[in-house]
Amino acid sequence: MTKKSGKLIIVSAPSGSGKSTIVGELIKDKELRLQFSVSATTRKPRGEEKHGVHYYFLDVDDFKRRIERDEFAEFEEVYEGRFYGTLKSELERIMAAGDNAVLDIDVKGALSVKKLYGDRALTLFIQPPSIEVLRERLLGRGTDSLEEIEKRIAKAAYELTFAPHFDAVIVNDVLVTAVEDTRRAIVDFLES
């Protein structure tokens, strides 16, 4: 059966679950016709992050103006004072190219987009094996302060409670297995 395009694959996970690595691997698979949906955010760029590639880095006033103009498919204040949102124009751009959009967004945003797009959207939750493993991974990444890491862990414990509402849950214990499980879920969805 031919794989349909113009669908949405929404991937949520506590930060440090390996979500970005898994998504990055799957985007390389040209057969899946996946394109990363670049979100808008009011947080500052980290490390090598580039505007228009990893995020559209906007100031708060610009972000709020876009909310008023109804430019977002969804947006959330993921961390206190820091907004993240999916621009409708970004999803339209990807679908117009005949591709499937991959959204790496938080749990609430994921469920909002699912509500909006219904059967056109697949929600995947990538779960770390445990909170302890997650803490080790965040420390190992070395990009965040200890305070930031504790914030992310508190958030992760909360996000884990949303897992049952997703179409599929993938436990990322061994990365290659998690990539394969995610790929299978996406292929089944695109062929359905």
Which residue(s) pair with 35 in the sheet?
101
- Contact between 100 and ligand 5GP per CB under 6 A: no
Q: What share of the chain is helix, strand, coil (3-state, %, to 5)?
A: 45, 25, 30
Could you tell me if 127 and 100 are in contact, meaning their C-beta atoms sit under 8 angstroms apart?
A: no
Return the number of the residue (3 or 144) whose C-beta is nearest ligand 5GP.
144
Q: Of 59-67, 72-80, 115-123, 161-169, which part binds ligand 5GP (CB under 6 A)? A: 72-80
- Contact between 56 and ligand 5GP per CB under 6 A: no
- Contact between 16 and ligand 5GP per CB under 6 A: no
Q: How many residues of this chain bind ligand 5GP (CB under 6 A)? A: 13
- Contact between 109 and ligand 5GP per CB under 6 A: yes
- Angstrom distance (rounded) from CA 58 to CA 48: 17
**How many Cα neighbours within 13 Å face the side chain of 171?**
5
Provide the pairing of β-strand 100-104 with 168-171. Answer: unpaired
- Contact between 86 and ligand 5GP per CB under 6 A: yes
Q: Of 28-36, 79-87, 128-136, 166-174, which part binds ligand 5GP (CB under 6 A)? A: 79-87
Q: Give 76's contacts (C-beta < 8 A, 6+ positions apart).
A: 83, 84, 85, 105, 106, 108, 109
- Quote the least distance from Cβ 182 to ligand 5GP, whole Å: 15
Residue of 58, 78, 111, 138 interacting with ligand 5GP (CB under 6 A) = 78
What is the contact surface with ligand 5GP in residues (CB under 6 A)?
A: 15, 39, 43, 74, 76, 78, 84-86, 104-106, 109
